[in-house]
Amino acid sequence: MASGLPVVSTESGSIPFVVGDGAALVPPYNIEALSTALARLVADPDLRVRMGGDGRRRIETELNVETVARRLARLLAPTHA
């Protein structure tokens, strides 16, 4: 994503949160879904560019060091009653 390339991954763990809506997510261990997602990217250059750009923008706006650090600081900050 940070390199501006499209992402194909599985729908497991925190991967869907990290990659967001711009990635092609497939069920774990589903070879057919994986091959379909990859074939779709191979066949559609515009889709590759769009997905790559979407992923790069997500990194720049939502997953950059400053934003993640602020979120983490809020989570770890003591609460006041």
- The full set of domain ranges for the chain reads 8-76
Percent of the chain with pLDDT over 70: 98
pTM: 0.78
pLDDT at residue number 27: 97
Q: Work out whether the CA dihedral 18, 20, 23, 25 comes out positive or negative.
A: positive
How much is the pLDDT for 35? 97
Structure confidence at residue 34 (pLDDT): 97
Number of CB atoms found within 10 A of residue 51's CB: 22
Q: Which two tokens stand for residue 36?
A: 């379909």
pLDDT at 80 over 90: no
Give the distance from CA 33 to its chain's centroid: 17
Span 32-50, pLDDT tens digits: 999 999 999 999 999 999 9
